């Protein structure tokens, strides 16, 4: 039977046990389970449980609550300050970002100066730099330390820093010299030189590096922590694997927003005006493209009047061209997001997608020609004037327009789907903006020009 942790936690809080015993029992549960209880508590109950937990444990629980701003607002400013200053600097920043400016200033004024300084060391970096995601939760030793001294330092620092899997070796000026895995330090014999067991060429990242430029490397190394340094190789902080996961999720959500034609990801609870502000830029661009699409079709009014049957098959060409372009787009974005591609690889990608689009277009074009011709033969609609006199010439022309247009449109759309993200990458714009409604509308305009242009050409010839 599955345990009901929330009920158990409530029973502990409602019991007559001494506060210290309550705290010991509460700390046996995961922070997320305690946070679930806090979300349903009133102001008085929240103050009480945070007091029982103590600042450090309360900070871990606070990060798991659904609405951090509301929870902190229920606490006294000095209590909130004690909790936030006990957190890692990066987590403290996340909490402070959820508060109103006035409340934030009041709490920061009550926080320990050292904790505030740690926060300032991080917020001085722009949000798109990897330094903005680092934490001051790490352990250092000197290369001149003996194994015994190093272990003593690790034990002392572990009381405040729980990222202990990697021990960073620095000099007196905090320059990063190397990294020792905790296991290697534990099994090292007395008298072993620290230099002999540390890794000198350990991956490190410059704090000012753009997140998008190093996120793939961070994921590929898959380490517990990654050292972050300045241009002088001074150790500033570390990025944890949890941070990498959060950054990756944020990147996915941002790309999803762009896929939907949004300039920025929308947050829950934001105002109508803020949502409109984020959505309207791309919608205006798509409106212009939509008007161009309508104007394009209106230019072929004479062709539609002479061959009304072709309107019925317009969606086939537009949809298949759009699908082909989207497939090429997805393949190209995946290629450029995981690798630094050369000019030779760019040319190869374009040529490959061109061939794939042509072959797919040829296969589907032949099939659509046969289906459309069969449809016209059975229904005798539009190009067929009478049941007794089936006009094969007009039927073949109509089916030929659909089939040949499909071949050309899918070929061209595949090329557009490949070139578009490469172009955006070249001008230093996120290729994800080429996805979604944007690429679909561009392909629709292209397919319309091909479809009705070909129909007009055949109409003028025959």
Whether 320 and 222 map to the same domain: the answer is no
Is residue 398 a contact partner of residue 372, using CB atoms and an 8 Å limit? yes
| Domain CATH number, residue 154 | 3.10.580.10
Is residue 50 a contact partner of residue 75, using CB atoms and an 8 Å limit? yes
The pLDDT assigned to 385 comes to 44
Helical spans, DSSP H, in 86-143: 89-96, 101-110, 113-123
The strand pair at 166-170 and 176-181 is best described as: antiparallel
Whole-angstrom distance, CA of residue 439 vs CA of residue 417: 7
Whether 39 and 157 map to the same domain: the answer is no
Whole-angstrom distance, CA of residue 370 vs CA of residue 155: 78
Q: Which domain holds residue 112?
A: 5-124
The strand pair at 235-240 and 166-170 is best described as: unpaired
Whether 74 and 180 map to the same domain: the answer is no
Is residue 168 a contact partner of residue 228, using CB atoms and an 8 Å limit? no
**Domain end point (choices 101, 124, 147):** 124
The pLDDT assigned to 339 comes to 55
In a domain, 133, yes or no: no
Whether 108 and 20 map to the same domain: the answer is yes
Number of structural domains the chain divides into: 3
Q: Which residues of the chain have pLDDT under 50?
A: 261, 263, 266, 268, 382-389
The pLDDT assigned to 49 comes to 86
The pLDDT assigned to 243 comes to 80
Query: For 7-48, how does the pLDDT look when each residue is reduced to its tens digit (9 = 90+)?
Result: 888 888 888 888 888 888 888 888 888 888 887 788 888 888
Residues 6+ apart with CB under 8 A from 154: 139, 141, 164, 167, 182, 185
Whether 27 and 98 map to the same domain: the answer is yes
Tell me how far apart the 2 most distant CA atoms of the chain are, in Å: 104
Q: pTM for this one?
A: 0.56
CB atoms within 10 A of CB 235: 19
Residue with tokens 């949502």: 275
Is residue 447 a contact partner of residue 414, using CB atoms and an 8 Å limit? no
| Domain CATH number, residue 398 | 1.10.357.20
The pLDDT assigned to 176 comes to 93
In a domain, 410, yes or no: yes
Q: Which of 8, 56, 262 is nearest to 160 (CA)?
A: 56
* β partners of residue 181: 166
Whole-angstrom distance, CA of residue 77 vs CA of residue 161: 25
In a domain, 264, yes or no: no
Is residue 61 a contact partner of residue 72, using CB atoms and an 8 Å limit? no
Whole-angstrom distance, CA of residue 137 vs CA of residue 171: 18
Is residue 76 a contact partner of residue 47, using CB atoms and an 8 Å limit? yes
Structure tokens at 58: 């309360």
- The end-to-end CA distance of the chain, in Å, is 78
Whether 309 and 411 map to the same domain: the answer is yes
CA 292 to chain centre: 32
The pLDDT assigned to 253 comes to 59
Whole-angstrom distance, CA of residue 138 vs CA of residue 237: 7
Whole-angstrom distance, CA of residue 369 vs CA of residue 356: 20
Percent helix, percent strand, percent coil in the chain, to nearest 5: 65, 5, 25
Whole-angstrom distance, CA of residue 182 vs CA of residue 30: 25
CA 297 to chain centre: 37
Whether 56 and 170 map to the same domain: the answer is no
Whether 415 and 322 map to the same domain: the answer is yes
Question: Nearest 5°: phi and psi at 76?
Answer: -70, 145
């Amino acid at each position: 039977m599955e345990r009901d942790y929330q009920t158990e936690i409530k029973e502990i809080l409602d019991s007559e046990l001494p506060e210290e015993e309550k705290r010991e029992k509460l700390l046996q549960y995961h922070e997320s389970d305690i946070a679930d209880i806090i979300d349903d508590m009133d102001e008085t109950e929240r103050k009480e449980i945070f007091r029982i937990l103590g600042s450090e444990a309360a900070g871990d629980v606070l990060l798991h609550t659904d609405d951090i701003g509301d929870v902190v607002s229920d606490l006294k400013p000095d209590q909130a300050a004690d909790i936030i200053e006990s957190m890692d600097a990066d987590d403290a920043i996340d909490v402070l970002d959820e508060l109103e400016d006035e409340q934030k200033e009041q709490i920061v004024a009550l926080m320990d100066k050292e904790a505030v300084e740690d926060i300032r060391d991080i917020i001085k970096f722009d949000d798109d730099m990897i330094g903005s995601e680092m934490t001051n939760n790490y352990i250092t030793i000197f290369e001149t330390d003996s194994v015994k001294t190093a272990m003593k330092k690790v034990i002392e620092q572990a009381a405040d820093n729980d990222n202990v899997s990697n021990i960073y070796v620095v000099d007196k000026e905090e320059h990063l010299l190397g990294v020792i895995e905790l296991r290697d330090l534990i099994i090292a014999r007395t008298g072993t030189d620290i230099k002999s067991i540390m890794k000198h060429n350990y991956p490190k990242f410059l704090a000012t590096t753009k997140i998008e430029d190093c996120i793939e490397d961070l994921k590929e190394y898959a380490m517990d922590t990654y050292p972050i340094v300045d241009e002088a190789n001074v150790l500033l902080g570390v990025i944890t694997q949890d941070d990498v996961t959060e950054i990756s999720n944020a990147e996915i959500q941002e790309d999803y927003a762009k896929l939907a034609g949004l300039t920025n990801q929308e947050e829950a609870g934001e105002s109508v005006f803020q949502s409109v502000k984020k959505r309207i830029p791309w919608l205006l661009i798509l409106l212009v493209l939509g008007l161009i699409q309508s104007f394009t079709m209106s230019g072929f009014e004479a062709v539609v009047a002479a061959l009304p049957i072709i309107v019925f098959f317009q969606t086939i060409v537009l949809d298949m061209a759009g699908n082909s372009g989207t497939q090429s787009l997805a393949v190209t974005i995946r290629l450029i997001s995981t690798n630094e591609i050369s000019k030779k690889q760019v040319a190869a990608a374009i040529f490959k997608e061109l061939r794939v689009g042509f072959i797919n277009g040829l296969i589907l074009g032949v099939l659509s020609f046969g289906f459309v011709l069969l449809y016209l033969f059975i229904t005798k609609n539009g190009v067929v004037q009478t049941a007794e006199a089936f006009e094969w010439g007009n039927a073949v022309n109509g089916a030929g327009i659909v089939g040949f247009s499909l071949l050309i449109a899918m070929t061209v759309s595949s090329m557009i789907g490949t070139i578009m993200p490469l172009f955006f990458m070249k001008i230093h714009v996120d290729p994800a903006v080429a996805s979604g409604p944007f690429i679909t509308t561009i392909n629709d305009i292209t397919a319309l020009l091909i479809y009705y242009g070909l129909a007009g050409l055949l109409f003028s010839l025959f």
